[in-house]
Chain A
Amino acid sequence: MNIRPLLPLLALALLPSAASAQPAPAPPPATQAIDVASGAWEGIVNIDVSVLFPDYREPWNAGQPSGGSGTGFLIGKNRFLTNAHVVSNATRILIRTTNDPEPHPAKIIHIAHDCDLAIIEAEDGKHFEKLKQLDFGGIPQLNTEVIAIGYPIGGDRISVTRGVVSRIDFRPYSHTSVDSHLAIQVDAAINPGNSGGPVMQEGKVVGVAFQGFSGRVAQNVGYMIPIPVIKRFLKDVEDGRYDHYVDLAVSDFSIENPAQAKALGTNGDGVGVMVADVEPAGSVGELLKIGDVILSIDDNPVMNNGLVRFEGELMDMNEIVERKFAGDTIKLKYMRDGKKQEATVTLKRFDPYVRLGAQYNQRPRYIVHAGLVFQPLDRNLMDAHQMRDSVVNYVFDNFLTDKLYVERPEPVVLTNVLPDEVNTWLSPYAHSIVDEINGVKIKSLKDVKTALEKKDTAFIEIRLLEKNRPLVLKRELAQTAHPRIMQTYNILEDSYLGDE
């Protein structure tokens, strides 16, 4: 995965310094001075955030308080756009404008982790009524100049950096690490704290600065979220809630090999990409098969490497799907066994992948029973516990590739055994996937609760995946030990199963 060195740019705030020609209709010359006091950029605000990082090792604890700062900008009446990662896990959000030191408490209205965008509003919007909101432009062209405005590290006041558009490409978004969307690369310095700030051209917002590389990996590479992704987010939340991206949930494999092209029946004209894997739970799970060739999506021909020419640029074919919403349809032309076929596909969200990425604004879910701690498998858990067990790692790594989610949508891990007389022989089995408890197949954390509530046997019998003995606890001993362990280890609640 080449997304690792990408760093979300949460850090310092950016004040709306004065870009020179903000209201001017013509692009300002590069050298034109900016008057911060003009108020033209006052809608670009610093967002100061207090956060609480949840504790996935001791899930009953509150977690680790911390803080950070980023940038946001006014896009409507008391509506500020910023990055999701700026306000993730926030316990308190404060907005400050460049010309006024007064902090204004704010709250999240919409947050979309999959495209790293969020809308926040000030609890009292009066102060911002007179501020100018920023307008959106379009996709800037390569080698045209842009400026990034924000509150990055290196000082407290607003900062402006300048560069050109270097590349327009489909890129992984590091906030979740599992979502990829269109992103625009610029060579303007984008540093921690720029996050959520506008990148502007000709006085219009053409992107939201959001990630870059660590200086050890690459220089002068910053990324912004482009207008199509922003517009899609704003449209999605129009109905008051965020419905996430939809996905074909297909892996494609380029048709570069001449024998492959011949065997698949493409006539070497460079059109069509091979279907190499299909998620059964995805939008085309019932339609496509491995070895099919996707020819076009909504009449945009798909090239043999999976790209389409779309809005004048070569883009990943998924970009067409990306712009759509749950329930929308696409027209798909494909070839099977040399015969052309056509189908209309209703798009839906494919969510098994979500747990493979970082998740935010969630209280860790868990069940503790007689010192045995059960937690659902996801990236947050893997990272917190530094899981080394090969079975756990296999299940996590191959959750999609081997379609493990079909049988076990939410694998449950025995993450810890809090030592007590009752469980002293079980501690070597921490970091195992739970297969079955008291005969109940464990497909989610809730099943653990259901299984433990079955009280018709003298023993609690826990079967682990690919471990060669069942863990057994004598029920009466476990019941006596449970309150004792809760008290000893300072656990207030023996489970948290989520809000629902």
Chain B
Amino acid sequence: MALELELISPFEVAKDAVLAIQDYAVLAMQSLGNFFRRPRYWGDMLQQADLIGVGSLPIVVLSGLAIGALLALNSASTLQRFGGITLIGQLVSNSMVTELGPLITGLMVSGRNASGMASELGSMIVTEQIDAMRALGTDPSKKLVTPRVAATVFMLFFLTIIADLLGLFGGYAVASLMFGLDSRQYWSNAWQTLVFRDVFMGLVKPVLFGFIIATIGCYYGMSTRGGTQGVGRSTTQAVVTSSVLILVVDFFVTKLIFALLGYR
């Protein structure tokens, strides 16, 4: 079979990219604007909060514990060399609260829920269910997008706090069981090292990451074209894009908060 290659002009590619960013911006703004317009779908928000929050709990619990434990395990050997094993609580606490807690939780929830949203909404697009919803006089942006955005932002905030706490427990388990560190020493170090800036940074990030996960998942779902193959493509793109965006935004938010509230 002869393979036909179609050349696409760079201008077309750039135009498509700009259009995609514009469409995403419109969807993201609408998802926020819908909070101020009736009707509001509280029932759908609760249902999504259950699916996203409670459904993601096992994966967040496991990854939080594992990251805290691994962080303690990896840093202990270096700290031991300099006689600073007592600082392990400080290191785990700082890393988990400011960086690893929000980041790992964001990436885990992105892998689970951005893909879920893209595939669910994408399937609804290709089977004309979204058109049917519009035809029945219901705004899909209000009914489907806003509840997902609200639920993801709200639940990711609390999931991150849970991951932070479990990370600290994971670190404590390694420090105490493997390196014989006193429990009081670990927890007082972990507690005292945290300042307002660290906690603020650790709580701002999940809000932004939650917004990215839900809006990207919904955007790729709602812009699905091309049947079941298109649904698969949207799902993959949603996970890749939201993960990359989370990493990029994480860097800039960290930089911005350091610039505003001072470096350590």
- Same assembly: no
Which residues of chain A have a CB within 8 Å of any CB of chain B? none
Which residues of chain B have a CB within 8 Å of any CB of chain A? none
